[in-house]
Amino acid sequence: MALSDDAVGAIKTMILDGRLRAGDKLPIERALAAELGVSRGTLREAVRSLTMVGVLDSRQGDGTYVTSLEPHLLLGSLAITMDLHQDSSELFLLETRRALESHATSRAAVRLGESELDRLTEILDEAAGLVDDGRVDDGRVDALLEHDRAFHRLIVEASGNPVLASLTELLSGQTMRARRWRELAEDGVARQTLDEHRAILAALRARDPELARLRAAVHVAGMEQFVRTQIDRRRHPPSAGGVP
């Protein structure tokens, strides 16, 4: 194991032990390197590693601070990884989203307040207006997708688990390309999505965790099936004239 890995572990231990808290400034480099028993160069390498994953924030001319340690910051490097491998892993991302989002929706069924349920209804009513409009253009599709994301975001945030909420939001953003693709490629998908959202909301209003979980899972599974079909078509394109 590299010395910088030891230094990374030591700094993480200081945070876990409470010697360093969110927002705290790290000791000066010379003092911290001596405390950890590493060279200043090794310490700098460790600080760079922890900065890349959102644990530390190096400020030019000011020093290095522990970040707020909010989950969305700590998942930043995961988002970069997903971006780099989007084409090969989009289906895997959707499968993961289905597992996480269905669980979060189940938890939300017993946690959502009446005002949040009313807000979900408003989001779907606004989306219904866009669906009834019937136009197929980029502006309408973008608006529908934003309503879709707002609907799921509110539910997942109500699960009460900030790490789960951050992971699901990250996955939702990473699968937006496929969802936009489906909106443009499939007739009637906007209406189908709206109906599925209404079914999820009905389960939430009924305070039925298992039904909410199942309806959320079925909803994301439809997107999975679309992506799986498109992947299969790319791998096995039909021959000219439909002749195998």
pLDDT at 33: 92
Q: Does residue 22 lie in a domain region?
A: yes
54 and 172 share one domain: no
Q: Does residue 240 lie in a domain region?
A: no
Q: The domain that contains 173 carries what CATH number?
A: 1.20.120.530
Q: Does residue 60 lie in a domain region?
A: yes
Q: Does residue 75 surpass a pLDDT of 60?
A: no
Q: What φ, ψ does residue 56 adopt, rounded to 5°? A: -120, 160
46 and 85 share one domain: no
Tell me what the mean pLDDT of segment 129-137 comes to: 79
Q: Does residue 157 lie in a domain region?
A: yes
Task: Please say whether the beta carbons of 20 and 26 come within 8 A.
Answer: yes
* CA–CA gap between residue 240 and residue 208 (Å, rounded): 51
The pair of three-digit structure tokens given for residue 206, joined into one six-digit string: 């009924």
28 and 120 share one domain: no
92 and 167 share one domain: yes
Q: Which of 39, 68, 97 is the last residue of a domain?
A: 68
Domain that holds residue 124: 74-235
Q: Does residue 242 lie in a domain region?
A: no
Q: The domain that contains 35 carries what CATH number?
A: 1.10.10.10
pLDDT in tens, 102-124: 999 999 999 999 999 999 999 99
Q: Which of 40, 68, 96 is the last residue of a domain?
A: 68
201 and 94 share one domain: yes
Using left for φ > 0, alpha for ψ between -120 and 50, and beta otherwise, residue 68 falls in alpha
Distances (CA, A) of 208 to 111, 194, 201, 205: 11, 20, 10, 8
28 and 84 share one domain: no
Q: Does residue 244 lie in a domain region?
A: no
Top pLDDT among 53 and 27 is at 27
Domain count, the chain: 2
**Lowest-confidence region among 21-25, 29-33, 53-57:** 53-57
pLDDT at 243: 47
Q: Does residue 103 lie in a domain region?
A: yes
108 and 7 share one domain: no
The pair of three-digit structure tokens given for residue 128, joined into one six-digit string: 């219904």
197 and 107 share one domain: yes
181 and 213 share one domain: yes
The pair of three-digit structure tokens given for residue 147, joined into one six-digit string: 């309503």
Cα atoms in the Cβ-side hemisphere of radius 13 Å centred on 163? 2
Top pLDDT among 199 and 167 is at 199
Q: Does residue 97 lie in a domain region?
A: yes
59 and 105 share one domain: no
13 and 64 share one domain: yes
pLDDT at 81: 52
pLDDT at 58: 87
Q: Which of 68, 93, 116 is the last residue of a domain?
A: 68
95 and 130 share one domain: yes
* CA–CA gap between residue 115 and residue 142 (Å, rounded): 26
